[in-house]
Amino acid sequence: MRNMNIKSIQQWLSRAGELVNEFYNAPYRSAIARAKRDEDDLFMMLVFSEMMGVPNPASYYTLELQPLMLERFHDWHQRMGMEHSPLDHFRCC
Amino acid sequence: MNAIFVMLLGLAAMFLGYVFYSKFVAEKIYKLDPNFKTPAHEFEDGVDFVPTNKYVLWGHHFTSVAGAAPIIGPAIAVIWGWVPAFLWVIFGTIFFAGVHDAGAIWASNRNKAKSMGSLTGDVVSKRAQTLFMIVIFLVLLMVNAVFATAISGLLIKFPSSVIPVWGAIFVALIIGQIIFRKWMGLGTISILGVVALYLLIWAGPSAPLSLPETMGGLTDNASWVLILFGYAAIASLLPVWMLLQPRDYINGLQLFIGLILLYAAVLLLGPDMTAPAFNTNLPENTPSMLPLLFVTIACGAISGFHGLVASGTTSKQLDKETDLRFVGYFGAIGEGSLSLATIIAACAGFATLADWEAVYSSFGQGGVAAFVEGGANIISQGVGLDNEIAETLLTVMAVLFAGTTMDTGLRLQRYIFQEWGNIYNISWMQKALPATLLAVISCVALAFGAGSDGSGGLAIWPLFGTTNQLLAGLTLMVITVMLVRLGRPMYVTLLPLIFLLIMTVFALFIQLKGFYMEKNWFLFGLDIVVLIAAVWIALEATSALSNLKKEQKS
């Protein structure tokens, strides 16, 4: 019986904790996510800069990163206002 | 009359409004559909569009809309007696604010969660959208000037609050770091933060702080206004997680604690409403109640600012369409209850009628200071807290609210300037710092332009209320047009719209005369701008509705 009580109190506390966390984060989720997205976009530009004709001294290393960024490439070019991939040798959709 | 009775009457009326009227509006007018796929689900991206628990969303919505304005407005307006203010707050909340706030979420929800500004463009006309942007800019401009002045007045009148108010910023900064670096869970840190804040409040009276009366040719009032804008400019440039987010959070907790404390104290003490029900002994130069009451109390009865919050952020996080009844309508009731608490504090917190009349010696006097003094008397006698500590507590509550609104207001204004920089290709204006400086300069100019020592802010309070009501009018117009298009009854939003337009135009003319008599040409000019906007809205609404009528006939 006593165990049950402690368990239900713990459950209740963790649920309350979740709600408080939501209350803290919900108002600013978009502002923070947007700031993070801006940084990611900049990174994306760096990785693909050589392909767009911008010389990049680190391109030897960023080439390795390209496959990792592929997943986000589609969202990125759409966000930048381009319906299809802007790169000739790099198809997306 | 006993304040407990007033409190219960008001709360019961608002609650019944929620149970019956909002149900009617939700089911018969907006026809909320639990199966409608809300934008939060349709465009879910984890950034802007996130389905959110309705209680969390309510808490977020309520704390964003409830600020210092629902305290300042009613605290000024009780000068005409407490009954008119009480009636307008209660009826305003039930028939105006709730319908408006829920309607704004509904309209946005049914239109891909667009903001009210672009909705105006889509639903009414492009002209109306331009008008909307102008009115928003005016509201933001005034809100910053008004709040800076209100805060500086409070800091001067209650020097014991200076240390807790600025200390609260450091508490927020530390909390921000701790949460960001995940050193502690949010539950622990909330308790620690609130304890730290209340320790500061408790220590405040033993270390009062005030600025010298004149400093470098500036009065203390003017210096505070400048310091506040300096602070707000920095705060609005910092990343949000550093200061704004923890500050908002602590303020939200403060809001609930303050409200509960005030209502509990009223219940325990049961003071009498010492202020007159209808003030027949009005101080000289008090303007006529009839239009002015309805613009002096904007937030707390109906406020256009809510429409911005409702359509900008709340509508993007709505999980189910039926939730908006609770989030929007009950959010308005939360704000109404804050205004009700203010009315009780400012009217029942003084021992005798003579004391009350001494505080309300002329129009614009009393105000938020009366709320602090009266509320502190009630709390100290009801709960047994030291009077000075109670005063500090309420001052800190009011100042923190106003301060957060200033940060946010300045940030929004900066975005507007940056957008103009984009539109007109002015590259320096697109950067954050110059745009913030422009915003600060325009607000300071208003605060000082309206009164040479920076006290001009409160002189524009009724004008701010008027502009805020116009914004609400624009939102109501959008909702009405949508309802007519759907072939549903429009009187639920049309009647408030007509009432608001008549009262604001009427009030603008009265204030115009007042500014003319005082030879205050700055405010006279501003008044004319707002008046033009008001007439424009009336014409826009008439033409939109008559066009619709014609369409439907043919």
What CATH number has the domain bearing residue B240? Answer: 1.20.1740.10
A79 contacts chain B (CB < 8 A): no
Provide the token pair at B510: 């009265």
pLDDT value of position B462: 85
pLDDT value of position A78: 80
Provide the token pair at B478: 């959008």
Contact B96, B298 (CB under 8 A): no
Pairwise CA distance, residues B297 & B313, whole Å: 25
Residues near B365 by beta carbon (within 8 Å), at least 6 away in sequence: B283, B359
- DSSP structure class, residue B286: P
pLDDT value of position B167: 94
Q: Is B336 left (phi over 0), alpha (psi -120 to 50) or beta?
A: alpha
Q: Which of B143, B117, B140, B114 is nearest to B130 (CA)?
A: B117
A71-75, A81-85, B155-159: which has the highest mean pLDDT? B155-159
Q: Identify the closest residue of chain B to A16 by CA–CA distance.
A: B187
The C-alpha angle with vertex B525 and arms to B523 and B529, in degrees rounded to 5, equals 110
The C-alpha angle with vertex B469 and arms to B73 and B471, in degrees rounded to 5, equals 130
Pairwise CA distance, residues B328 & A22, whole Å: 19
- Chain A residues whose CB is inside 8 A of the B190 CB are 20
CA distance B240 to chain A (A): 7
The number of domains in chain B is 1
Residue B210's pLDDT band, with cuts at 50, 70 and 90, is confident
pTM of the model: 0.89
- Chain B residues whose CB is inside 8 A of the A30 CB are 47-48, 313, 316
Residue B74 has pLDDT above 70, yes or no: yes
Alpha helices in B78-125 (DSSP H): 82-91, 98-109, 116-123
- pLDDT of B236-292, one tens digit each? 888 888 888 898 888 888 888 888 988 999 999 999 999 999 999 888 888 888 899
pLDDT value of position A71: 78
Provide the token pair at B218: 């500036």
A33 and B47 within 8 Å at the Cβ level: the answer is: yes
- The domain segmentation of chain A, as residue ranges, is 2-79
A61 contacts chain B (CB < 8 A): no
Q: Please count the other Cβ atoms lying within 10 Å of the Cβ belonging to residue B455.
A: 18
B53 and A19 within 8 Å at the Cβ level: the answer is: yes
CA distance A22 to chain B (A): 7
Distance of CA B37 to the CA centre of its chain: 31
The mean predicted confidence, pLDDT, of chain B is 90
Which amino acid does the sequence have at B330? F
Task: Say whether the ipTM exceeds 0.85.
Answer: no
* Domain membership of residue B340 as a residue range: 3-553
Mean pLDDT of A61-65: 83
Residue A90 has pLDDT above 80, yes or no: no
pLDDT value of position B447: 84
Helical (H) or strand (E) element with B174: helix B162-180
Mean pLDDT of B89-97: 96
Alpha helices in B182-288 (DSSP H): 186-203, 220-237, 244-269
Residue B350's pLDDT band, with cuts at 50, 70 and 90, is very high
Q: Which of B195, B172, B67, B169 is nearest to B468 (CA)?
A: B67
Residue B451's pLDDT band, with cuts at 50, 70 and 90, is low
pLDDT value of position B506: 94
